[in-house]
A and B are shown apart, each in its own frame.
Chain A
Amino acid sequence: MRDVAFWILAVAAVASGVAVFVVDSMARATFALLASFLCVGVELLLIDLHYLGVLVVLMMIMELLVMAVFMIMYMMNPAGLMPMTMVHNHRGALTVAGAVFAALAAGILLADWPERAGAPPRDPAVALGESLMGPAMLVMIVIGVAILATMIASVVLATHRGRYGDQDGTRDGDVP
Chain B
Amino acid sequence: MSTALRVENLNKFFHEPEDFQVLFDISFSVNKGEFVPVIGKSGCGKSTLLYLLSTLDTDYHGKIFINDRVLTGESQNNLARFRNENIGFVFQFHFLLPEFTVLENVMLPALKLGKLSHKEIEEQAIDKLRQLQMDKFAQKLSSRLSGGQQQRVAIARALINNPTIIMADEPTGNLDSINTGLVFDIFKELSHQKGITILTVTHDLDFAKNADRVIEMVDGRIKN
- A and B interact physically: no
Hey, which bits of chain A sit against chain B, CB under 8 A?
none
